[in-house]
Amino acid sequence: MRWMSVLLAALLLSGCVGDKAEYVHSVWRPAAGTEAERNVWYVTDRAADKDWQGGFGKHWSDTLSCGSVVAVIPAMSLAGEPYATGHLKPGAEKRMSCGNDLEVVAIAIGADASARHCRDVLIYIHGFNTLFDGAMLRAGQIGNDTEFPCPVIAFSWSSEGEVDRYIADVEHSAYAAPEFESLLRALAKQGLRADILGHSIGTRIALSALSAMAHERDAPQGEFVDQLILAAADVGADPVNNDFLHLLNDAQPFVRRTTVYASAGDAVLAVSAIAHGSVARAGHLPRHDRALEVPEGDHAIDIVDATQAPAELLGHSYFGLSYEAVSDIALTLNGATVAQRMGRIDGWPLTLVCKPPQGSAACDAAHPHYVLNVLPSRRPDFWIRLVRRIVPILPRIELAPLSGSDE
């Protein structure tokens, strides 16, 4: 009866996972417990709708909208405290008329970067089951929690924000890839270097845009993407027809370093694999893939096992809910290599360890298995692991309620 109760809870809570505005909060707790504010630039293909938070609804538009908002990020709640809820600061939004020409917003972002004495930007691309306000809050939270000093941009494609609209969201994400390519081109034209954090379906948009550039004559030259971070990638990684590998190879000339966070405990991606004809998802495979091997240095690709990271019940949003993952992302954005992240850097906690192969006491230097450094007390317990194993194999259960996350 207990495991059945836990499973029922998983199904009921599955709609609460991900970039839903009411569940976004900092992974840190300042001494005063105060909330933080972060300016977030946005580019969205959503249709404007005054009845929705932030002024954009769930419908797709063939015209881009741009501007900025101020995300108010609550501190992590302590035990016994009411669950903190973030929001967009009223009256702080700025709208820009960009249409399908993103030069105007790129110039404004460039001016913001110059005022901050930098030429870098962090772009966040959300996933499934996410509305505009949730995307803005998550982008602001990541920017705040990683202490990113330069402008933060949220690319908000037209996810419908409903757990039973996964297939519709997949379709809408395909429409967004050319628009994201336009954003990258506009930023590169201003001499800005991008760090990209894509989550789940958002990784498809990032990789599709970069892959498309690889086949175009007028692509921006050089490594205009410094760090490409792919968390819980909902991209096919079938051994025979590995879409993920093809896309990474196309993107590689534009990217200095790629970091892939994957979790064998991600029940949402396990269900997604079923929805895609039992094709494994890249974000569900945390072990080193020899097909991705590259020398340490420029154009490196690192795989980090996030299976033990704290997350919501179905294990899909650890990248923004776990201080272990957020800390490792922060160091990655600062250019720290995996070797450096296995030591303490400037007050940040030790974020990575190298897990020895079974039967060995030492890290396999040739094929390292990098794992997020998570204390045993914070790892998923038996019941959570059980739920994550059972959810994908339950027969004849409607797919949509199981895949509730910001995939």
- For residue 17, the model assigns a pLDDT of 58
User: Does residue 210 sit within a domain?
Assistant: yes
Helix (H) or strand (E) run with residue 206 in it? helix 201-213
The partner residues of 71 in beta bridges, in order of sequence, read: 38, 88
Pick the closest to residue 291 from 248, 259, 256, 229 (CA basis).
248
CA quadruple 305, 276, 177, 39: dihedral sign: negative
In the predicted model, residues of the chain with pLDDT beneath 50 are: 1, 3-13, 395-407
CATH of the domain at 114: 3.40.50.1820
Would you call 398 exposed, middle or buried from its count of C-beta atoms within 10 A (0-12, 13-18, 19+)? exposed
User: Does residue 356 sit within a domain?
Assistant: no
What is the β-pairing status of strands 255-262 and 225-231?
Answer: parallel
Instruction: Domain count for the chain, please give it.
Output: 1
3-state SS string for 103-154: HHHHHHHHHHHHHCCCCEEEEEECCCCCCHHHHHHHHHHHHHHCCCCCCEEE
**Token output for 205:** 């948009």
User: Does residue 29 sit within a domain?
Assistant: yes
User: Does residue 366 sit within a domain?
Assistant: no
User: Does residue 368 sit within a domain?
Assistant: no
- For residue 218, the model assigns a pLDDT of 86
User: Does residue 335 sit within a domain?
Assistant: yes
User: Does residue 370 sit within a domain?
Assistant: no
- For residue 14, the model assigns a pLDDT of 52
Distance of CA 64 to CAs 157, 261, 307, 379, Å?
A: 10, 30, 37, 41
Q: Are 386 and 6 in contact (CB under 8 A)?
A: yes
- For residue 9, the model assigns a pLDDT of 47
What domain range includes position 247? 2-348+378-402
Whose structure tokens read 């900025």?
68
Distance CA 377, CA 308 (A): 10
User: Does residue 407 sit within a domain?
Assistant: no
